[in-house]
Amino acid sequence: MNDTPLPTLLFPFERGLIDPPGEDERVLFLGAPGAFHLPSDFAGNMTAVQGYRPDFLALQRTGISVFPEPEGEGYDLALVLLGRHRRENEQRLAEALKRTRPGARIVAACAKKDGGGSVRKRMGELVELEDHASKHHGVVFWLRRPDAIDAALAALEIGETVADGYTTAAGGFSDDGVDPGSALLVKCLPDNLSGRMADFAAGWGYLSVAAVSSFPAIKSIDLYEAHYASVEAARRNMAHKASQVPARFFWHDLLGEPVNERYDVILMNPPFHRSRAAEPDMGHSMIAAAAKALKPRGRLFLVANRQLPYEESLEKHFAAQGELRRDTVFKVLWARK
């Protein structure tokens, strides 16, 4: 989450194009990054919204009031950081309209590479914009929240999204349907899985639903996921499709927070992107976390892009490891404590 257009968002305040909030004004910051510095004359009372667990925890450590979902209404100013996901962007803009008072200013920014110009144009078709600017490889636009917002909300708001029969999460992993790597992992799982299972980086829960539906000897499953909306989608999917097995849901940063439970089996499709660049160290760290969370002789099954060098971490942390299948894109690996 370190690839944000924050400098673009702050540009109109720094240049005096927009007055900063005063001490008594309430500010809502949708998509607030984990580390940011506001201009010195920014005096408003801020509430941040951040559903990505590492950034949420970073904001919490600074003392900022932060929530994983928007709360409250009547804000005097809304700041909106937009990203690569159209559905998530439109949800944030809709929340900005709903949570501010009539006449409040809304300021939103998006990187040009993420379609900032298109976002500005789309918003301008729904409500009147005051102005916009291009700076720091991004586009920032601002407006006054109109009295009548029903038509804009109807155009922006997207309800629960279903893909391949599952509820997915805007802005989360594979929000357009079942990930092919996860589907391959399910096909490769042995038929003797049993005991307590965990799904690391569970997303909206496809692996968990498939596993508990296929292996009746699984007694319980815990889902760990850093993206809050994905956790909530997983909760719904498990309730609708696999309610026969006890499930717990952890909004959790596996790279920064310890796992206190111990498991017989862990499934994993580890992420390797925080921004656009591949970061295989995320997978290595997650493998180490899985090794700590497994019982003696517990087993890990994971899928990864075939070029990622996860075998070295499996060899380091496990007594035995190997490969179950490989195709032109993915490989499925196993390891035992």
Mean pLDDT, residues 70-78 taken together: 97
> Which residue, of 140, 156, 172, is where some domain finishes?
156
Three-state DSSP class for residue 13: helix
Give percent above pLDDT 90 in the chain.
90
CATH number at residue 171: 3.40.50.150
> CB–CB of 5/27 below 8 Å?
no
> Which residue, of 127, 156, 185, is where some domain finishes?
156
Map 28-75 to HEC letters: EEECCCCCCCCCCCCCCEEEEECCEHHHHHHHHHCCCEEECCCCCCCE
Q: Are residues 138 and 22 in the same domain?
A: yes
> Alpha-carbon distance 326 to 305, whole Å?
9
- Output the pLDDT for position 315: 97
Long-range contacts of 160-165 (CB under 8 A, 24+ apart): 160/236, 161/87
Exposure pattern of 104-139 as b/e (b: 16+ CB <10 Å)? bbbbbbbbeebbbeebbebbeebbebeebbebbebb
Q: Are residues 320 and 173 in the same domain?
A: yes
Q: Are residues 112 and 188 in the same domain?
A: no
Q: Are residues 128 and 168 in the same domain?
A: no
> CB–CB of 80/92 below 8 Å?
yes
Mean pLDDT, residues 82-90 taken together: 94
Contacts of 158 (CB under 8 A, 6+ apart): 87, 90, 91, 170
Burial classification of residue 209, based on how many CB atoms lie within 10 Å of its CB (0-12 exposed, 13-18 middle, 19 or more buried): buried
Q: Are residues 141 and 177 in the same domain?
A: no
- Output the pLDDT for position 276: 46
Provide the residue range defining the domain that includes 276: 162-336
> Which residue, of 102, 127, 156, is where some domain finishes?
156
pLDDT tens for residues 277-305? 456 789 999 999 999 999 999 999 999 99
Q: Are residues 169 and 146 in the same domain?
A: no
> CB–CB of 335/300 below 8 Å?
yes
pLDDT tens for residues 2-12? 468 999 999 99
Is 248 a domain residue? yes
